[in-house]
């Protein structure tokens, strides 16, 4: 088992207290994603969108990585050139657990983007529509988050990693949002083994050769320990 590509979703950070989206009390049961996670929503009401992400940024600041984040960071440290950590999550809990070079395909809460000139910078804790861009000074500041209808980041790099993968593991994602939900098929077509780690079966469960169900904080460290033992770690 040489090259491993790991895709994580909101379930990885659920036990750290960050909300998921589609579970019983998920974020999309409280907010209309069209208002807070689309370019049209931002154009209509930028203050509402900033309030939404300011609340998520504060929630993230108050959260801590859980045993699953720590286990993935441990796995990556054991073989950095063989483990590619792709995440749909916009929190920095993997980084705070010691992971590096995490591929944030949906952007990051702690980064800001100028909708006019494309400049990116470290986001302050609280962002407002009136905040001027540090580069062009125009008040076009937005969270550096990929919204519905926008193109995810780093897809070329992810495609290359999937082509080389011997194992593709999806952790804590419902398999509802593409292109991430299609990675399992890309990896399998390239000859990789596929494993899903989730609290319950995802929409794409049938596409995985192997599935383990349980809380990420328990089943991810157990799986990582097996891989490290197999690698002689």
Residue 76 Cα distances to 95, 166, 228, angstroms: 11, 15, 10
Binding to ligand APR by residue 106, rule CB under 6 A? yes
Q: For residues 83 and 79, give the distance between their C-alpha atoms in angstroms, rounded to a whole number.
A: 6
CB of 191 to ligand APR, least distance (A): 25
Binding to ligand APR by residue 21, rule CB under 6 A? yes
Q: For residues 74 and 99, give the distance between their C-alpha atoms in angstroms, rounded to a whole number.
A: 8
Among 41, 143, 172, 221, binds ligand APR (CB under 6 A): 172
Task: Reply yes or no on whether 50 is catalytic.
Answer: no
Show the tokens assigned to 211.
Answer: 């599935």
The candidate with the shortest Cα–Cα distance to 112, out of 88, 94, 136, is: 136
CB of 154 to ligand APR, least distance (A): 14
Piece of the chain touching ligand APR by CB under 6 A; list 78-86, 119-127, 154-162, 196-204 = 196-204
Three-state secondary structure along 18-63? CCCCCCCCCHHHHCCHHHHCCHHHHHHCHHHHHHHHHHHHHHHHCC
Among 3, 20, 76, 194, binds ligand APR (CB under 6 A): 20
Among 34, 64, 130, 176, binds ligand APR (CB under 6 A): 176
Each residue 200-219 as x (binds ligand APR by CB under 6 A) or -, in order, gives: x-x------------xx---
Q: For residues 137 and 88, give the distance between their C-alpha atoms in angstroms, rounded to a whole number.
A: 30
CB of 141 to ligand APR, least distance (A): 20
Where would I find the H helices in 24-177?
A: 27-30, 33-36, 39-44, 46-61, 67-78, 93-96, 155-164
Q: For residues 142 and 163, give the distance between their C-alpha atoms in angstroms, rounded to a whole number.
A: 33
Among 198, 207, 208, 223, binds ligand APR (CB under 6 A): 198
The 10 Å CB-count burial string (b at 16+, else e) for 68-83 is bbbbbbbbbeeeeebb
CB of 182 to ligand APR, least distance (A): 13
Q: Which is nearer to ligand APR, 46 or 172 (CB)?
A: 172
Residue found by looking up tokens 């589609």 in the block:
22
Q: Scan residues 59-88 and list those touching ligand APR (CB under 6 A).
A: 88
Binding to ligand APR by residue 23, rule CB under 6 A? yes
**3-state secondary structure at position 137:** coil
Binding to ligand APR by residue 29, rule CB under 6 A? no
Q: Which of 69, 106, 119, 230 is catalytic?
A: 106
Binding positions for ligand APR, rule: CB under 6 A: 9-11, 14-15, 20-23, 26, 88, 106, 172-174, 176-177, 198-200, 202, 215-216
Residues annotated catalytic, as ranges: 106
């Amino acid at each position: 088992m040489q090259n491993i590509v790991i895709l994580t979703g909101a379930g990885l950070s659920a036990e750290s207290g960050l909300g998921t989206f589609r579970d019983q009390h998920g974020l999309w049961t409280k907010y209309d994603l069209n208002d807070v996670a689309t370019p049209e929503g931002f154009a209509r009401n930028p203050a509402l969108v900033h309030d939404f992400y300011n609340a998520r940024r504060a929630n993230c600041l108050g959260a801590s990585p859980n045993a699953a984040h720590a286990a993935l960071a441990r796995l990556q440290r054991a073989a950095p050139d063989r483990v590619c950590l792709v995440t749909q999550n916009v929190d920095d809990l993997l980084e705070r657990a010691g992971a590096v070079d995490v591929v944030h395909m949906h952007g990051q809460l702690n980064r800001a983007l100028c909708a006019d000139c494309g400049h990116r910078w470290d986001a302050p804790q609280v962002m407002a529509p009136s905040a001027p861009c540090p580069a062009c000074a125009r008040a076009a500041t937005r969270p550096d988050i990929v919204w519905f209808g926008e193109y995810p980041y780093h897809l070329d790099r992810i495609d290359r990693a999937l082509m080389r993968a011997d194992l593709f593991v999806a952790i804590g994602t419902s398999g509802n949002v593409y292109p991430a939900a299609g990675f399992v098929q890309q990896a399998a077509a390239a000859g990789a083994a596929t494993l899903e780690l989730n609290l319950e079966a995802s929409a794409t469960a049938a596409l995985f050769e192997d599935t383990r169900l349980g809380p990420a904080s328990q089943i991810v460290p157990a799986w990582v320990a097996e891989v490290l033992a197999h690698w002689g770690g």
